[in-house]
């Protein structure tokens, strides 16, 4: 099964565009989890078990695991093993390097950890991200427009009369020969999201920035979806996983996730049905 079909299947089965970001900081998990050998995994396990029927994807920013040392490598393995096979998993590493280095990066993310999708940085060109585009069942999500303040330092520079990010989208479409390339556009950039969707009507778009970063959820749905109200992956992390720091953290995470999933579907009904 190719990536697009897997994404469509789970979005339809769970009636959900919601992706939960498991950017878990050990220092922020409830104290009672410290009694477990791996509190980071125990936190992830409970969040997954509480929400796995209402999401289309989970995204792990790998920096939160690499930064804790060798044990973080095993935590990623354990976390991915807990996620049902039908759900999309995204390794948010923003990789991309000279080809021999990129091959090693892809070996870890795509073959060892075997994420369904990986975020990649296109700044060094096609050969720096080709290793992430080998398999049709895995998606390379290319950074197009990001949510951070520094995005305008490069992404908005005019090149031949158009912002650089539009050239990135054009190249991503050209490279998408296996239908396994997607784009990343921050929810804090609704006008740009609308433009990117118009340029790439049938590519999956990963949309971070809703929640703590204050991206507008309605705009993310309206401008991020294709004409069928699909192919947008709306990531929300801290406002869901840290909805409570007590013993009820998983239950509260489910409540927060369900509320957002339902809000997303209300907007899908409004604009696409």
Measuring CA to CA, which residue among 35, 141, 159 is closest to residue 93? 141
Q: How far apart are CA 29 and CA 31, in angstroms?
A: 6
Q: How far apart are CA 190 and CA 220, in angstroms?
A: 7
- DSSP states of the chain: --HHHHHHHHHHHTT--EEEE----GGGS-GGGGGSS-HHHHHHHHHHHHHTTS-SEEEEETHHHHTT-HHHHHHHHHHHHHS-TTSEEEEEEEE--SHHHHHHHHIIIIIIS--SEEEE-GGG-GGGTGGGSS-TTSEEEEEEE-SSGGGGGTTT-EETTEEHHHHHHHHHHHH-TTS-EEEEE-TT-HHHHHHHHHHSTTS-EEE--BSTT-B-HHHHHHHHS-TTS-SEEEEE-HHHHTS-SSTTHHHHHHHHHHHHHHHHHHHHHHHH-
Active site residues: 94
- DSSP states of 156-170: T-EETTEEHHHHHHH
């Amino acid at each position: 099964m190719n990536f697009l079909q897997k994404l469509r299947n789970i979005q339809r089965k769970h009636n959900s565009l919601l992706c939960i970001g498991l950017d878990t900081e050990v220092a922020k998990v409830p104290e009672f989890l410290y009694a477990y050998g791996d509190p980071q995994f125990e936190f992830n396990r409970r969040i997954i078990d509480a929400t796995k029927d209402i999401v289309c994807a989970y995204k792990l920013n790998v920096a939160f695991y690499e930064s804790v040392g060798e044990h973080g490598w095993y935590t990623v393995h354990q976390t991915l093993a807990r996620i049902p096979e039908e759900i999309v998993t995204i390794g948010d590493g923003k990789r991309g390097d000279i080809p021999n280095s990129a091959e090693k990066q892809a070996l870890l993310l795509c073959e060892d950890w075997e994420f369904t999708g990986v975020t990649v940085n296109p700044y060094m060109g096609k050969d720096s991200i080709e290793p992430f585009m080998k398999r049709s069942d895995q998606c390379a999500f290319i950074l197009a427009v990001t949510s951070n303040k520094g995005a305008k330092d490069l992404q908005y520079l005019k090149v031949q009369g158009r912002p650089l990010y539009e050239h990135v989208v054009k190249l991503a479409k050209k490279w998408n020969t296996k239908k396994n390339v997607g784009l990343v556009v921050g929810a804090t950039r609704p006008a740009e999201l609308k433009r990117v969707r118009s340029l790439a009507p049938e590519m999956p778009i990963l949309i971070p920035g809703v929640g703590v970063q204050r991206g507008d959820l309605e705009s993310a749905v309206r401008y991020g979806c294709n004409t069928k109200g699909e192919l947008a992956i709306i990531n929300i992390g801290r406002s869901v996983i840290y909805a409570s720091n007590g013993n009820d953290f998983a239950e509260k995470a489910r409540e927060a996730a369900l509320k957002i999933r339902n809000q997303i579907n209300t907007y899908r009904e409004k604009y696409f049905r």
